[in-house]
Amino acid sequence: MTADVSEVPPDGEADASAAPPTDPDRATAAVPDPEPPRPGELPLAVLVDYDGTIATTDVGDVLMAAFIPGAWEAAAAAYDAGRAGSRSLMTLEMAVCRAGREEMLELALRQPHDPTFAALVARARAAGAAVEVVSDGFGFYVRPNLERLGVGDVTIVTNDVVWRSGRPEMVFPNGHPACFVCGTCKRRRVLAHKAVGRRVVFVGDGHSDRYAAGYADVVFAKGSLVGLCEANGWAYRPWATFRDVDTWLAGVVDAWRRDPAALPAPVRRPYYCGPEVWGPGRTDPP
Ligand SMILES: [Mg+2]
């Protein structure tokens, strides 16, 4: 129950026998594992949640309220309480949704976003740091909204919705091979960047970050992620806009340029989610 992350095979080597059938369309390809930082690049990854974080509303919640009958609400409450998985919840929600892509996207594109995200992306890239959006939401509206912010080329690790004969269906190209609690496995992305030599900064706001923040070296938290950090004893930095993260990153870059060893201290915690602690094939946390 307390296996250290360094003692467990990488996720790709896990037993995938419990994996559900691969989606035949693979509407969205899986994002490949990250490459190691090259010489001269700041060995840091800034991983950023989307709903409630870059988008200042929870776009998924807005879409559910507008387009999806209320049958999912009890399941959503169980998810927020940490008793249910997001993958089965999103699958349920889309199974009862009758809306088309265009009308859902039109509402998603009207949601407010934090305009200071673009400056953080620019600073991270100028230093050679990785910056990625990691989102366990409906996914299909993330790229169009990042394009509106001028950062449509940022790596996005998320789920997707495909419409077949007009009916929406969730697909999960970035899930864990042996754990189906989440749709997109944020943990994998945090640990993948660590495995190739980066320190990982995670920026988030809520319940979908619970299985990522505890593995990161630095956490910026607002909303319900603050309570999750405090309940678990994870250090965090409060933030309001990406200007706060950008100010912190400016200091990190300056220190690293003076001394390449001056990086945020690494954090190593035992696995607290996934097949190593729950066994393979779960769809809900125990
Ligand atoms: Mg969020």
**CA of residue 145 to ligand 1 center, whole Å:** 15
Whole-model pTM: value is 0.90
**CA of residue 112 to ligand 1 center, whole Å:** 14
**CA of residue 108 to ligand 1 center, whole Å:** 15
Q: CA nearest 161: which of 68, 81, 254? A: 68
What is the average per-residue pLDDT within 92-108? 94
Buried b or exposed e, range 258-278, using 16+ CB within 10 angstroms: eeeeebbeebeeebbbbbbbb
| pLDDT tens string 33-77 | 999 999 999 999 999 999 999 999 999 999 999 998 877 788 788
Q: So what's the pLDDT on residue 26?
A: 44
Query: What is the percent of the chain where pLDDT is above 90?
Result: 82
**CA of residue 51 to ligand 1 center, whole Å:** 4
**CA of residue 40 to ligand 1 center, whole Å:** 32
Q: What value does the mean pLDDT of the chain take?
A: 90
**CA of residue 162 to ligand 1 center, whole Å:** 22
Q: Is the pLDDT of residue 27 over 80?
A: no
**CA of residue 169 to ligand 1 center, whole Å:** 21
- Domain limits, the chain: 40-264+272-278
How do strand 218-221 and strand 237-238 relate by DSSP bridges?
parallel
Q: Is the pLDDT of residue 7 over 60?
A: no
**CA of residue 184 to ligand 1 center, whole Å:** 13
**CA of residue 255 to ligand 1 center, whole Å:** 30
Q: So what's the pLDDT on residue 181?
A: 96
**CA of residue 102 to ligand 1 center, whole Å:** 23
**CA of residue 70 to ligand 1 center, whole Å:** 21
**CA of residue 15 to ligand 1 center, whole Å:** 29
**CA of residue 39 to ligand 1 center, whole Å:** 33
**CA of residue 89 to ligand 1 center, whole Å:** 15
The arrangement of secondary structure in 40-264+272-278, i.e. its CATH architecture, is 3-Layer(aba) Sandwich (3.40)
| pLDDT tens string 189-224 | 999 999 999 999 999 999 999 999 999 999 999 999
**CA of residue 49 to ligand 1 center, whole Å:** 6
- 142 residue type, one letter: V
Q: Where are the beta strands (DSSP E) in 140-229?
A: 155-157, 160-164, 167-171, 199-204, 218-221
**CA of residue 55 to ligand 1 center, whole Å:** 8
| pLDDT tens string 127-148 | 999 999 999 999 999 999 999 9
Q: How far apart are CA 79 and CA 20, in angstroms?
A: 21
DSSP string, 136-151: -S--TTHHHHHHHTT-
**CA of residue 75 to ligand 1 center, whole Å:** 17
**CA of residue 17 to ligand 1 center, whole Å:** 31
| pLDDT tens string 144-189 | 999 999 999 999 999 999 999 889 999 999 999 999 999 999 999 9
**CA of residue 152 to ligand 1 center, whole Å:** 19
**CA of residue 54 to ligand 1 center, whole Å:** 8
